[in-house]
């Protein structure tokens, strides 16, 4: 064979996988692929990182969600199924602002009046054992664990200890930990004040033999570090919350710029966590606080944001991320607001959306049934890495808004390539894969970044997907259209 003929053959071979991976494009997105930006991702398989926690995927709900015991119940099959599909070992966090307005029906002691609220219900939410019993059934049916918040604001450690004991008694081993107070940085003047209020609670709850975690603060990294230093040994994990910004400031372009400023804070917390051999959970997080932003928090862009956010945090060692959500009534009430659930027309899917908080990953309620929101699919994508070992990689994004992650598991190489760019289709040339030849590609896509419905995670159910191969140079060419993501699993060649 002449050199020229060999070169032509190699060129043709190099184009083959390219052609086949692009084949999935139009099918998955319904859009033409257009001209592509060429990005490069070099996987450094000799630089292993952290093992991704198998509890990476989590959700967070207001305590007020327990007002209807039929919500978290083993009879709520649709919700059980959505949780099980999301993760076999997820974490459900119950808390939020309404946890600091909750009283336990079993408590017989004196209760002071809680400070008046600016709006919403003035009466505290009275939590009853039926709701905890139903919740225990839900946890058993889903295989999920529980993190449960008790009322610090009211200043009655004895009630918290009784409630914590009841939760442990009813939920058993499915309780990971009790947290004391929600975002106490919003009502304690400084860390010392939190510490003073927290101590008698921690003492009473631990004396009852119930595990605790914390401090569950809003945006205070320094509080988490102080807390770790002082109380690390008494806790089963450290926690903090995160939202990008307030809902009025939310937009799709803002969301898709990513959260790099926060990652630096996470790295600081991880130093404290590692020093005390403690996991760190983001027990409450989402795109925009004040209930999320319509047209941003609940559209396909939030799926790409959420997947990227989870994987960036997993790479830094965060043990789990609990995306806050639930019914509109529960979240609006947490903000002291009335919920307007009115919707024009009778479309079931629109009605489910209308009764749900804007950032929730799952829409619906007991009466209407449930359905996944776009964010749910982003969580499903990131969940593909749960239990795998992250690898270092070098990305040359060629000016486009991209992220890329690599991990190894059971001899397989996994990649997630996220194209957050609204205008550029991208072809990733992924190298550093010497022992990998063939595998499968799954695509996460939607008609557009603004889509509320019509999200497709093609191949996620193990049935479809596209086959993929490295070229003669060991490079894998993967086309990822604007506003979509790809997930690749390559098998080690024999």
Note the residues at the interface with ligand BDP (CB under 6 A): 62, 96-97, 182-183, 218, 284, 289-291, 331, 334-335
The Cβ of residue 260 has, within 10 Å, a number of other Cβ atoms equal to 8
CB of residue 100 to ligand BDP, shortest distance in Å: 9
Smaller CB distance to ligand BDP: residue 226 or 284?
284
Q: Which is nearer to ligand BDP, 183 or 425 (CB)?
A: 183
- Provide φ and ψ at 28, rounded to 5°: -80, -30
| Cα–Cα distance for residue pair 148/60, rounded to 1 Å | 10
What are the residue ranges of helices labelled H in 208-251? 221-231
Q: Which is nearer to ligand BDP, 57 or 97 (CB)?
A: 97
Q: Which is closer to ligand BDP, CB of 114 or CB of 392?
A: 114
Distance between start and end Cα atoms, the chain = 28
* Spatial separation of the C-alpha atoms in residues 259 and 432, rounded to whole Å: 27
Least distance from ligand BDP to the Cβ atom of residue 219, Å: 9
Compute the least distance from the CB of residue 177 to ligand BDP, in Å.
17
Least Å from the CB of residue 111 to ligand BDP: 21
CB nearer to ligand BDP: pick between 290 and 323: 290
Helices (H), 232-347: 252-255, 260-275, 300-315, 328-334
281/240 Cα distance (integer angstroms): 7
With respect to ligand BDP, which residue has the nearer C-beta, 162 or 183?
A: 183
Our measurement of the distance from residue 52's CA atom to the centroid of its chain's CA atoms, rounded to an integer in Å, reads 13
Minimum separation from the CB atom of position 366 to ligand BDP (A)? 20
Distance between CA atoms of 397 and 420, rounded to whole angstroms? 11
C-alpha 277/C-alpha 237 separation (Å) is 9
CB of 244 to ligand BDP, least distance (A): 12
- What does the alpha-carbon distance between residue 60 and residue 245 come to, in Å, rounded to a whole number? 18
Which residues neighbour 461 within 8 Å (Cβ) at sequence distance 6 or greater? none
Structure tokens of 82?
Answer: 């959505």
- Minimum distance, C-beta of residue 97 to ligand BDP, in the bound complex (Å): 4
Residue number closest to ligand BDP, CB atom: 96
Residue number, 229 or 249, with CB nearest to ligand BDP: 249
């Amino acid at each position: 064979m002449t050199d020229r003929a060999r070169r032509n053959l190699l060129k043709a071979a190099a184009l083959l996988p390219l052609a086949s991976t692009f084949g999935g494009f139009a099918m998955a997105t319904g859009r033409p692929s257009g001209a592509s930006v060429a990005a490069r991702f070099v996987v450094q398989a000799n630089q292993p990182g952290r093992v991704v926690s198998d509890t990476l995927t989590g959700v967070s709900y207001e305590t007020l969600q327990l007002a209807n015991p039929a919500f978290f119940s083993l009879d709520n099959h649709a919700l059980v199924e959505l949780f099980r599909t999301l993760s076999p070992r997820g974490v459900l966090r119950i808390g939020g602002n309404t946890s600091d307005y909750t009283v336990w029906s079993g408590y017989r002691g004196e209760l002071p009046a809680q400070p008046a609220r600016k709006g919403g219900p003035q009466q505290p939410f009275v939590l009853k054992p039926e709701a905890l019993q139903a919740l225990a059934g839900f946890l058993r049916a889903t295989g999920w664990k529980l993190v449960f918040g008790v009322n610090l604001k009211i200043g009655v450690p004895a009630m918290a200890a009784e409630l914590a004991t009841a939760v442990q008694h009813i939920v058993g081993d499915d309780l990971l930990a009790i947290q004391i107070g929600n975002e106490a940085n919003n009502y304690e003047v400084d860390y010392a004040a939190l510490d003073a209020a927290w101590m008698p609670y921690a003492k009473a709850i631990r004396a009852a033999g119930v595990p605790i975690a914390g401090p569950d603060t809003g945006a205070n990294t320094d509080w988490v570090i102080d807390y770790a230093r002082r109380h690390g040994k008494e806790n089963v994990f450290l926690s903090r919350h995160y939202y990008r910004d307030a809902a009025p400031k939310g937009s799709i372009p803002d969301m898709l710029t990513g959260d790099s400023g926060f990652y630096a804070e996470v790295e600081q917390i991880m130093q404290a966590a590692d020093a005390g051999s403690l996991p760190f959970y983001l027990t409450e997080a989402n795109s925009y606080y004040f209930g999320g932003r319509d047209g941003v928090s609940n559209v396909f862009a939030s799926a790409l944001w959420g997947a990227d956010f989870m994987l960036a945090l997993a790479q830094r060692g965060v043990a789990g991320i609990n995306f806050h959500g639930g019914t509109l009534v529960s979240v609006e009430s947490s903000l002291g607001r009335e919920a307007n659930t009115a919707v024009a027309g009778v479309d079931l899917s629109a009605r489910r959306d209308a009764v749900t908080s804007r950032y929730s990953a799952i829409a619906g309620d007991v009466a209407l049934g449930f359905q996944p929101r776009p964010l749910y699919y982003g969580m499903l994508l990131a969940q593909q890495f749960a239990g795998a070992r992250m690898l270092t990689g070098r990305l040359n994004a060629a000016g486009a808004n991209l992220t890329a992650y690599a991990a190894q598991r059971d001899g397989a190489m996994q990649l997630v390539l996220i194209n957050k760019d609204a205008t550029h289709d991208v072809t990733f040339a992924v190298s550093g894969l010497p022992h990998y030849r063939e595998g499968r590609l799954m695509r996460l896509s939607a008609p557009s970044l603004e889509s509320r419905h019509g999200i497709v995670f093609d191949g996620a159910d193990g049935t479809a997907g596209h086959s993929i191969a490295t070229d003669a140079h060991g490079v894998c060419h993967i086309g990822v259209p604007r506003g979509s993501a790809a997930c690749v699993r390559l098998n080690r060649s024999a």
